[in-house]
């Protein structure tokens, strides 16, 4: 069993983005949710499309952080990427965009 963390807190992600780390942000919410609010630089890849699109759109090298509203769908997506595609470079944003709004950016839209 790996001791590698499976998720990242909003504070950790914010710190790494501020430091200029090269991170691919994959948002697995639906298009309507993404259009309402999303982290700058994130890419929309709805959870239902993940099996079809992940192989070509989610990078195999470098950190990938998967994002959703509260962290549940993104945890499923991260699990899929790790277990089915063998990606060890994938972390889930704990608490999703809701936690981001509460902990990092009070101006970030919530729903």
- What ranges do the domains of the chain cover? 7-103
Specify the CATH superfamily of domain 7-103.
Answer: Rhodanese-like domain (3.40.250.10)
Please report where in the chains the tokens 């069993």 appear, as a residue. Answer: 1
Please, which pLDDT band fits residue 3 given cuts at 50, 70 and 90? Answer: low
pLDDT beyond 70 at 1: no
Crossing angle, helix 96-103 and helix 10-18, to 10 degrees? Answer: 70
| Opening angle at CA 22, ends 19 and 27, nearest 5 | 110
**Weakest-pLDDT range from 1-10, 46-55, 84-93:** 1-10
Instruction: Please say whether the beta carbons of 105 and 21 come within 8 A.
Output: no
**Options 54, 68, 97, 101, the catalytic residue:** 68
Q: What percent of the chain has pLDDT over 90?
A: 95
Asked whether the predicted pLDDT for residue 55 surpasses 80, the reply is: yes
Q: What is the pLDDT of residue 4?
A: 64
Residue 82: CB atoms within 10 Å: 18
Residue 85: pLDDT over 80 = yes
Give the DSSP letter of residue 4. Answer: S
Take residue 16 and report the two structure tokens written for it: 């790494």
pLDDT at residue 31 is higher than 90: yes
Indicate if 68 belongs to the active site: yes
pLDDT category of residue 29 using cuts at 50, 70 and 90 = very high
**How large is the average pLDDT for residues 79-83?**
96
pTM: 0.95
């Amino acid at each position: 069993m790996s001791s590698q963390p499976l998720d990242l807190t909003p504070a950790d992600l914010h710190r790494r983005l501020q430091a200029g780390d090269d991170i691919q942000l994959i948002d697995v919410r639906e298009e309507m949710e993404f259009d309402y609010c999303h982290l700058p630089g994130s890419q929309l890849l709805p959870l239902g499309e993940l099996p079809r699109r992940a192989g070509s759109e989610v990078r195999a090298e470098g950190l990938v952080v998967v994002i959703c509203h509260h962290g549940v769908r993104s945890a499923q997506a991260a699990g899929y990427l790790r277990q089915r595609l063998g990606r060890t470079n994938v972390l889930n944003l704990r608490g999703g965009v809701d936690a981001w709004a509460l902990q990092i950016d009070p101006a970030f839209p919530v729903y």
